[in-house]
Amino acid sequence: MVYLDHAATTAVRPEAIADMTEEFGRLGNASSLHGAGRRARRAVEEARESIAESLGCTPNEVVVTGGGTESDNLALKGLFWARNQADPARRRILVSAVEHHAVLDPVHWLAESQGAVCEEVPVDSHGRVSPADLRAAIARDPADVALVSIMWANNEVGTVQPVHELAAVAREYGVPFHTDAVQAVGSEPVDFAASGVSALTLTGHKVGGPVGVGALLLARGTDPVPVLHGGGQEREVRSGTLMTPLMRGFATALRLAAEEREDHVHQLARLRDGLVATVRERVPDAVLNGHPDRRLPGNAHLSFPGCEGDALLMLLDAHGIECSTGSACSAGVAQASHVMLAMGADTETARSSLRFSLGRGSTRADVDALGEAIGPAVERARAARRKRRAA
């Protein structure tokens, strides 16, 4: 098997597994006051401190959640409700046109059922938002803007946004700025304090931690209305029994990802460049999508003219090569990528694309295996498409 889908999920680090295994063998609820509870609470708070140190924030800015989707929902719904309740005129939510569905779907739900107005800020042909376009969108009527949400790095094409500049624009107008940094953490130098953002989403399973745990970083003074009510855990922002073993594994994986980031990024970028060159050698008309420079080091998103992405994916899978047509959350849904469409691609191009994403454990042998398989797979996919059209 050649695994080229690390953007969807990546292997859990052995160090994280060891920490979680140790913790799973212990008894105690971190909300209990007896000895076992206090021990669990100590493990939770040590994990929180480690997470904060890895991300340039303070421990009390770390709200632990069940993952990236929950963090996005808490940020978007909670901040909208908080702002709208304080001032009903604040109804407008500004998002980029290339957001993950974990952002787009909650915003659309708020528009359909909670009186919000969703406005998409356009992107250029590389998938980037211009600070000038964000400024124009806010300045049209600053008094009605509830919040802004623009991802740090795109999950499909890998384009990295100018988050610091975008957050500065929102801050000028006193508007909370949320960023989904799920893909960026571990690849980009994510420093919460330095970024100037109000809220930041991340998750464990993209950095070598377990599935089922993530965090929402909330700057001081950023207080969303809770989505979950119950025991009042996590500053009463996110109730629920704290997942002590998962938090330990998450914190360990995040610490190692931060420590190794520079070497890891250099290795991935070199391997990615080799992958793109190899694919283009076998399929000369393949097109690399996303920003040419400001992109994630492990991401190679390519369009293959004359192919259908789903068919090409399955042909590669039959050769033991696993990749994606885009977001794993949309796998199996036969529709053009909204990211590619927002970048100006036509529907045919948007549906002819594959994402190859590298991670820890990826090797030159993986690239060579893809090189051997991609040419014949493209030929078969094109032939099948021509046959269907002729029928």
Q: Are 286 and 355 in contact (CB under 8 A)?
A: no
DSSP letter at 99 equals -
List alpha helices for 9-146, DSSP H.
Answer: 14-24, 35-55, 68-86, 101-113, 131-139
Q: What angle do CA 110, 111, 114 make, to 5 degrees?
A: 55
Instruction: Enumerate the β-bridge partners of residue 357.
Output: 5, 299
70: closest CA among 172, 213, 235? 213
Count other C-beta atoms under 10 Å from residue 125's C-beta.
12
Q: How far apart are CA 334 and CA 370, in angstroms?
A: 24
* Residue 62: its H or E element: strand 62-65
Helix or strand holding residue 221 (H, E): none
Half-sphere exposure of 65 (CA within 13 A, CB side): 27
Task: Give 287's DSSP letter.
Answer: E
Cα 334 to Cα 348: distance, rounded to the nearest angstrom:
12
Confirm whether 57 is a catalytic residue.
Answer: no
The enclosing H or E element of 322 equals: strand 321-322
Length of the chain: 391
As a whole number of angstroms, the distance between CA 71 and CA 199 comes to 9
Question: Catalytic residues, which ones?
Answer: 329
